[in-house]
Structure 1
Amino acid sequence: MMSAKLWAPALTACTLATSIALVGCSKDPKAGQDAAAQQKMPPTEVGVIVAQPQSVEQSVELSGRTTAYQISEVRPQTNGVILKRLFAEGSYVREGQALYEIDSRTNNANLDSAKADLLNQQANLNALRVKTNRYRQLIGINAVSKQEYDDLVAQVKQGEASVAAAQAAVKNAQINLGYSTVRSPISGQSGRSNFTAGALVTASQADPLVTVQQLDPIYVDINQSSSELLRLRQQLSKGSIDRSNNTKVRLKLDDGSYYPIEGNLAFSDASVNQDTGTITVRAVFANPNHLLLPGMYATAQIVQGVIPSAYLIPQIAVTRTPTGQASVFVVNAKGILETRLIETSGTQGQNWIVTKGLNPGDKIVVDGVAKVKEGQQVNAKPYQPKAEAPQGTNPAAAQQKNAAQPAENAKPQTEQKATSHA
């Protein structure tokens, strides 16, 4: 009885020790393994480009419309009935080419009348001059009075004035007769004729007979915001961009293609439109094949200047801070990410034009920006732009095909193994 009491505490102690040991052994070892694995994970791989300064053209894309270089609304300058139309509608006409013939009988009659009046005035003047010569001889012997001679000299002067007026009337009648043939004042493309043969027209009427437009060269009127123009002038004053050469303009047509000929900036308006806050900028383009027609919509790319030392950084590499400041990730010499604030000055294609914040040789993270953070150790690799899939290819189908290909390649191997086991 005494021995049972002595063994009871010993058994209790052994049981407790065994439970503690079992509890300690029952702990999951995965937690320690995960922590060790995290410490042993390789740095995240990112694609980088090396920043290199270069001269970059700063351009801006603005919408605009084409306008004829010269426009002439041809109107009659004399009254009459149109007898003939002397050109084909829509054809190219040259300066001075006859377009319409107006009934000239009235103008011919007016010219004949003016010529007859001129002859009459010239005859009167000749008679007065002969009489004046005679009075000059008679006044020497006091055969006529001095007053009569002076009156005759005045009549001669009046006769000369009448002859001059009659000559002017003849010229005016000749001009009106010339207006009977309506000619093109400029060379260009003719439009639709608004009047046909038999129509009565009057001098300086409101409706033009036809409109002629010069299409080579041709204007493109562009609207630029006043804020952009102000920023450009500030950059010019600071010397941030070089504008020593003539401003070039490239034209992107409505169908997405580019016009093959570059244009030049002709002028910029001197005032701002109060309704739109824009300034009209006019560019001139050569148009030898008349590909551009008045009224066409186009997008103009204006090269405003050249930034002598800037960086072209892909847009996917640039992020924004909460305050809106542009920034990029830079891999330092130790392979650790640093955030670098930058300043941009527009875009060129798929790249930002960076003017401040970068140094030559900086490694800019382009691929993998979303999966890294500042201070992280990374493995920098040269950035390789992803090749675009060929047109007409379904990416999902291509992926399934690539996934199925290894399985097909593995099938014969499986069959070979099964044969060998047999």
Structure 2
Amino acid sequence: MASGSGPPLEVLVVDDNPRFGELAEMFLEDEFEDIAVETATSAGEGERLLNEHDIDCVVSDYQMPERDGIEFLQAVREESPDLPFILMTGNGDETVASRAITAGVTDYIPKEAGSEHYDLLAHRIRNVVERQQAEAAKKARNRRIRRVYERINDGFVALDTEWRLTYMNSHATELLGREREQLLGKELSEVFPGVRETEFYDAATDVVAEQEVIAVEEQVDLIDAWIEARIFPDVDGLSIYFREITGRKERERSLERSRKRYRALVDAAPAAILVTDAESGDIVEANRAAEELLGRSADDLTGENHSAIHPAEDKKLYDSLFRERVDSGSGLVNRHADGSQIYVETAAGDRIPVEITSQVIELEDERLIQSVIRDVVKRS
């Protein structure tokens, strides 16, 4: 009878008794359509057939002249470490079984006569071949996955459920300044002392508990660098992608220092100044002089559209003027296109004629319009 589909399993039976090989070939091929048999009467002949045929499984007797089954097994293992190999031993010969296991045997069975023996042998053959094929497929899949991980620009490490490092790509070794051999198989806190007191560890713990992806940024003293990590739950632990962001953090700190200095200068300026986002037109900064001119606090003005400081009936005109200032990058505005005066409206409803001098400010992550607003009546 057949088991499954596809080409038959190619089995090499090695026994110095030709009659046993003939019986094995007859019983296995007649009873099991998914098994094809080659026979040999010595280890040397078996090696020759292994070189000439694509064999899926070897079945060998233990007691053979010149070289016994274990010596044959050792020779096979030198060339084919993963080839399924079943050794037939005498009943109760546990010493031979122990030696066979040490030599890397896949399975062993007592050598007996009768059709039941071949039923058992066929069952064992299928089992060991299926296990080997599954293991080979798993290894191939892991190799493909590792090739993918080696091609990505991020560092990547995998942790099992005991927080042991089970895999890391070459980018991870470079970023961490450690070799794989120093880390793999070891618990995280063993190789990174103090990790339990970090935001990263807290985030990883939350990922395990919530089974949700979490991103975290933290300065890692151990490697003297800022790291951005994305932590993913996995069926057997955690997958972590990380990259160094020290340069980005330094730029952010520098930009923040520049912004603080700029805010201080704007706030201290005697003229009214509004800073507006060039894309949205929303006010992002207002100094004290602007608060006094408009009768509104900076908190109240922030987030309002730029047109909120002008009379409502002229909104379209002011929008047009604002876009002109954005496109030109700078300019002095004190009249509409029709020659009428530009006004701002205070919180009390007073209309004040003004001139507006604008300048575009290009920052790393945003484009702003700085507008200096002067009361033309007070100036005159």
Question: Could you tell me the TM-score, scaled by structure 2's length?
Answer: 0.24
The structure in which a higher percent of residues are helix is: 2
The structure with more strand, counted as a fraction of residues: 1
Larger Rg: 1
Using CA pairs under 8 Å that are at least 6 residues apart, name the structure with larger relative contact order, 1 or 2: 1
